[in-house]
Amino acid sequence: MRGLPGWRRVAIPVAVVAVILGISYALAELSESDKAANWAQLASVALGVLALIPPVVGTWRERRPGRTSTPDQVDRAEQALRVLVRAQWREEILIRELDEPSPLPVRWRISGLDVMDQDDRIDRPRFLRSWFGLGRVRFDGRTDRMPEMAGRFRKLARRRLVILGEPGMGKTTLAVLLLRELLEDPQPGDPVPVLLSMSGWDPEAESVHRWLVRRLRENYSALRAPDFGPDAARGLVAHRRILPVLDGLDELPVRIQPRVIAALNAAPTTEAVILTCRTTEYLDAVSLPGGDMLAGGAVIEPRPVKNADVIAYVRNRLAPRQAAAWTGLLSTIKNDPDGPVSGALSTPLSLWLLCKVYIETHTDPAPLCDPARFPTAASVTDHLLDNLVQATFAATPPEHDPADPHDHDHPFRPHRAWSPEDARRWLSFLAHHMSATGTRDFRWWHLHRAVSRRLSILVGGVTVGLTVGLTVGLTSDVIVALRSPHEGSLWDALLFGLAGGPVGGLVGGLVGGFILERLKGSTLEPAYANLRLGGHLQRLAGQLALGLVLVLPVGMLAAFALWRVAGISSAAGDFVLFGLVVGTVGGLTLGLNRWVTTPLTSDRPQAPLITLRRDLQLVYGRSLTFGLALGLAFGIAGTLVNGFSGLLRGVEAGVAFGIAGGVVFTLTFGFTGASSIYIVAVSMLRLRGRTPRRLMSFLEDAHRTGLLRQAGPVYQFRHAKLQDRLAQLHQRYAPEGDAAARRTTPGRSKGHERFGF
């Protein structure tokens, strides 16, 4: 119901509850002979009403006017955010190998294109420019001297910077290194730099302010902790406490790019900003009708990389035994600066590819100098991209040291061994899927878009139906057999459950799967949950107590109303007992739900694997808890109407039915959750050889080896060129089937066979 007005978000659940109560009352009146069944239905309605209390109360609290974080809470949120971002990018910089001892010195300078605002609006007043109109804005710097570039950025009048460059020249690298420098050496009053991917943003649909607030909440769940007040993210944006580092303007549709620049110029809460974009796309965005340049923003571009710097960079990464084999390539770069090899290795991206494909694999680079095989710079680059995935996974096998308890935290080593050929095939499919959907971000909760809708309905229905049928059939029959024992009853119950359960469940599962597939849509987002106990038992106790206070009175009123509708007994003790059970179970369920979904100030920034785990915890934990609560209420109700022989038997039956109900709830309503749909999609893609069974573990290892980069809860390929090239490889192999995709080109020299050189 996101996006509905506040009164509708409250009225719709209330109307649904009213309809359910009306139907239940009619069933009770029409089925006077089956009191136990009526009680089971009415108990379910009671807990259903209680389950709707949290969203209604939460919506009301969120919509109350004037709920803002205090200045002190915003200050503490800023300090916490600075710590989180610093830790996040320290690890990411290590994984991307951007902090090497001898980095490539890429030189940057003010752009000569007509894409920059007036000098007086960019730089602070200077004597020559103010009095004589001489000189221009200066912003010279090198990536191996980042403190100087950070100091120059701070001297800009509005601290606005646009980083331009051709593909592979290190725009994002410069933005990340500048972010790190600003974090490591903060000056008084400096905002917190936060890097955000711009993919999927349309300023006309979502303003700059709202987009920044939403992205902060999504990427840094700690900002939603109660200690920082009701809306710390909004306070940080409103008070200009963050420096948005916006990466990838060129990745947005052409029609949206000018809107972004115009929105940044008009946003009152966005002063300082860093923006990255390809040169051609930025020039077009500024030149389009209605386009404009970033007001007060300095615009810089990289200078061509010098051949001497390339040679020094390669030599610094060679082992002593490799030097002789690389003499020919280095001589070619020096003596033929306009040749294909020199042209290809003139960007930081190509040099990184060269290190991964040849240096780290100890492979002879002599074939690269063959003009017959590689007549152009583009052919050299394509060759490196084609073999990157296989070379990387072959050169970085997992290393496990039993004596080192922290070995699993090694940032450059995968946790598991993956076939290099399979790795390329899987990543090629994902690249094709991302390119087909027009995005640079891999969101695991959108993976179902790569699966046929009809096939997903069939697989989901069969899976849910068989599981639900077996669970319900076995549980129900065994409980009945144990409650009314006679010779052969248990065996007969098992046979009936195994035979009848799957048949009925399969039919119901297929019908339910079809309905749920049609209702679920494609806008599901990962939910938040954090099952932590250590050091937080006091908070759990408080939430459980609050749940009891809120729900116990409601449970008593609901029990009284349902008691009158059912007309089963006039004994006040029975009504009180049932009301206490329903209210207590509902209150504890509400308290547990609030505790699980409340972030902590120490929560790590959102990452793809973390978001998947948390969504799974919430969907299945909440479903099983609700099922157990419903089963207990059913068991107590059955006892009170003499459906079971004694209170103990009623509780036992309730627990058993509750666990079964939790499984049923999980596999029906729970399967509309983001993580559930993801599991179905992965299972189907695994059968077709498109992805591994443990896809997220594989992607995490690809991130550790540097093939992927992490941007909040999404993965991106290390570079757009890599995604585009892998997508082309998938299209090349797809018509021939998966078996053909596993084949590689015969090698020409020893050591190249496993890479398909």
Residue pLDDT, tens place only, 531-566: 665 556 666 677 667 666 766 676 666 666 655 555
Q: What is the pLDDT of residue 266?
A: 92
Neighbours of 135 (CB within 10 A): 13
- How does residue 240 score in pLDDT terms, banded at 50, 70 and 90? very high
Q: Report the sign of the C-alpha dihedral through residues 511, 514, 516, 519, in that order.
A: negative
- Is the model's pLDDT at 327 over the cut of 90? yes
3-40 pLDDT tens trace: 444 444 445 444 544 544 454 444 444 444 444 444 44
Beta-carbon contacts of residue 223 (< 8 Å; ≥ 6 apart): 77, 80, 81, 216, 217, 232, 233, 236, 599
Residue 752, pLDDT > 80, answer no
Q: What gap in Å lies between CA 353 and CA 384, rounded to an integer?
A: 6
Distant-in-sequence, close-in-space partners of 328: CB < 8 Å, separation ≥ 6: 365, 366, 369
Cα distance between residue 637 and residue 28, in whole Å: 15
Instruction: Say whether pLDDT at 213 is over 80.
Output: yes
Residue 164 has pLDDT above 90, yes or no: yes
pLDDT at 480 over 90: no
| Residue 495's pLDDT band (cuts 50, 70, 90) | low
CA nearest neighbour of 607 among 738, 703, 522: 703
Structure tokens that stand for 461 in this block: 């229905």
| pLDDT tens profile 688-740 | 889 999 999 999 999 999 999 998 899 999 999 999 999 998 877 664 444 43
Measured distance CA(258)–CA(247) in Å, rounded:
15
Spatial separation of the C-alpha atoms in residues 23 and 149, rounded to whole Å: 70
222 has pLDDT over 80: yes
Q: Please, which pLDDT band fits residue 182 given cuts at 50, 70 and 90?
A: very high
pLDDT of residue 102: 82
Q: Which of 450, 434, 436, 455 is nearest to 678 (CA)?
A: 450
> Which parts of 667-713 are beta strand (E)?
708-711
3-state helix, strand, coil in the chain (%, to 5): 65, 5, 30
Of the listed ranges 67-71, 88-92, 261-265, 483-487, the least confidently predicted one is 483-487
Which pLDDT value is given to residue 384?
96
Average pLDDT along the chain: 76
In which band, very low, low, confident or very high, does the pLDDT at 743 lie, cut at 50, 70 and 90? Answer: very low
- H helices present in 524-607, as ranges: 537-566, 572-596
Query: In this model, does residue 343 exceed pLDDT 90?
Result: yes
CA distance readout (Å), 688 to 439, 443, 451, 681, 738:
23, 20, 11, 11, 8
Which of 543, 517, 547, 518 minimizes the C-alpha distance to 530? 543
375 near 402, Cβ under 8 Å?
no
Q: 246 phi and psi, to 5 degrees?
A: -95, 115
Question: How much is the pLDDT for 379?
Answer: 95
- Burial track 478-499 (b if 16+ CB lie within 10 A, e otherwise): bbebebeeeeebeeebeebbee
Q: How many CB atoms within 10 Å of residue 295?
A: 16
Task: State the Cα–Cα distance between residues 499 and 493, nearest whole angstrom.
Answer: 10
Q: What is the pLDDT of residues 350-376, one digit of tens each?
A: 999 999 999 999 999 999 999 999 999
Measured in Å, how far apart are the chain's first and last C-alpha atoms? Answer: 53
Using a 10 angstrom Cβ sphere, with 0-12 exposed, 13-18 middle and 19 or more buried, the burial of residue 392 is buried
Over residues 461-487, the mean pLDDT reads: 58
Residue-range domains of the chain with CATH: 71-302 (3.40.50), 318-346+361-395 (no CATH)
Is residue 302 within 8 Å of 170, Cβ to Cβ?
yes
pLDDT of residue 531: 66
Digit-coded pLDDT (tens) for 107-151: 999 998 989 988 888 876 554 444 444 456 778 899 989 999 999
In this structure, what is the dihedral angle of CA atoms 155, 159, 165, 168, given to the nearest 10 degrees? 100
Q: Catalogue the E-assigned strands of 231-390.
A: 242-247, 273-276, 298-302
CB atoms within 10 A of CB 64: 10
Specify the higher pLDDT residue, 442 or 224.
Answer: 442
Mean pLDDT of 192-212: 93
Q: Which two tokens stand for residue 342?
A: 């020199």
In this structure, the number of other CB atoms found within 10 A of the CB of residue 179 comes to 22
Say whether pLDDT at 238 is over 80. yes
Mean pLDDT of 330-357: 93
- Mean pLDDT computed over 207-220: 93
Average pLDDT over residues 494-513: 54
SS3 sequence, 12-47? HHHHHHHHHHHHHHHHHHHCCCCHHHHHHHHHHHHH
Q: Which residue has the tokens 């991106």?
A: 716
pLDDT at site 4: 42
pLDDT class for 658, splitting at 50, 70, 90?
A: low
192-197 sheet: strands from edge to edge: 141-142, 107-110, 298-302, 160-163, 273-276, 242-247, 192-197
Print burial letters for 12-30: b (CB count within 10 Å at least 16), e (below 16): ebeeebeebbeebbeebee
Q: In the chain, pLDDT over 70 holds for what percent of residues?
A: 59
Ranking 421-435, 500-514, 592-606 by mean pLDDT, the lowest is: 500-514
Q: What is the phi/psi pair of residue 399, to 5°?
A: -120, 125
Q: What tokens does 717 get?
A: 């390929």
What are the counts of helices (DSSP H) followed by strands (DSSP E) for the chain? 28, 9
pLDDT at 555: 63
**Interval 488-504 mean pLDDT:** 58
Q: Are 108 and 161 in contact (CB under 8 A)?
A: no
When pLDDT is averaged across residues 577-602 and rounded to a whole number, the result is 69
Close Cβ partners of 134 (under 8 Å, ≥ 6 residues apart): 128
Per-residue confidence band for 483, with pLDDT thresholds at 50, 70 and 90: low
